[in-house]
Structure 1
């Protein structure tokens, strides 16, 4: 990796840490509300699939190393056992998928694909990990089932959809502004 690529990856890892703790005490059903999805999309859209995924991977390992960069200022290896850790894993794949969708052709239809993939990846990995964690090692609430896990996520769907739409609507303008300043994007 080149020095400027390392700096960009570090920048988006730092932005994820800030986005994770913008609203440290706002939770719905035990899941904190954050801006991490926005920054994962931006990382993929601005850095491309490879660097976007690397920046999200760096963020994950910084948190696992003990820095309090995860939501609610948490961090450390015990985070692997958190029911919400699957969402952190999903951000790596979200950044990669968004980057892949936009790298070769930034037509409007590719932004729609990127948005749909973001939702599928984030909810698919995150919700399935959460379900497994609650069933296998975390204390599952009474009556918890696979259907209940997905029903919990329905509360987040409107907010996440708005974040995805805003992120993807902003990306073309950001990419154009960076290109105008001769700053290379994906």
Structure 2
């Protein structure tokens, strides 16, 4: 089916592209946002919100645009990085996962708009982010990147433990926030169109 976009759709998608860029570099902008030396990023949080608020199609399109903007050289990735060379970086899988997150969460909340569904969908999105991104990172180090000495699959997952509590909390908050917006704002007026692009 052909997708028709209004100015509002493009504005909302563009807003999430900007939020992803901010979320990628929030710890650079505010250096105090480090816990145990691990920077706090909000990319997964905003990717979850994109799917939950914009729906599967527009949300995933917003994440695709974010990725393409970075690939053409605009510094929207972590550490204000941009350019095609990001493709060979071990962390590129996390960027791809944002598209999957938005699509999967969008599909789930389009079918059921209960608070429980929003929260469960958000947590599933976080799991997708970890599974896809961590496995991509592991195989990237094994196949083409310079892996640290003694690098193992277990080590790759151990690296993901420090941000895990933060991501769990933010995933639940994202689900709750999106559900609240759905009930108070998105179900009214012109916003009702967002999740029914055909």
Q: How much has 1:110 moved relative to structure 2?
A: 1.4
- Match for residue 133 of structure 2? 126
Measured on the aligned residues, the alpha-carbon RMSD in Å equals: 2.1
Q: How much has 1:128 moved relative to structure 2?
A: 0.6
Q: How much has 1:53 moved relative to structure 2?
A: 0.3
Q: CA 1:53–1:165 in 2, change beyond 3 Å: closer, same or farther? A: same
Gaps of 5+ in 2: none
> Contact conserved, 2:55 with 2:107, CA < 8 A, in 1?
yes
Q: How much has 1:95 moved relative to structure 2?
A: 0.6
Indicate yes or no: 2:72 matched with 1:72. Answer: no
Question: Does the residue aligned with 1:75 lie in a helix, a strand or coil?
Answer: coil
Q: CA 1:174–1:112 in 2, change beyond 3 Å: closer, same or farther? A: closer
**Deviating 4+ runs (over 6 angstroms):** 26-31
Match of 1:38 among 45, 53, 58: 45
Q: TM-score, normalised on structure 2?
A: 0.86
Indicate yes or no: 2:27 matched with 1:19. Answer: no
Q: CA 1:68–1:29 in 2, change beyond 3 Å: closer, same or farther? A: farther
Q: TM-score, normalised on structure 1?
A: 0.91
Match of 1:170 among 177, 180, 183: 177
- Match for residue 145 of structure 1? 152
Q: CA 1:117–1:55 in 2, change beyond 3 Å: closer, same or farther? A: same
Higher relative contact order (CA 8 A, sep 6+): 2
Q: How much has 1:112 moved relative to structure 2?
A: 3.7
Gaps of 5+ in 1: none
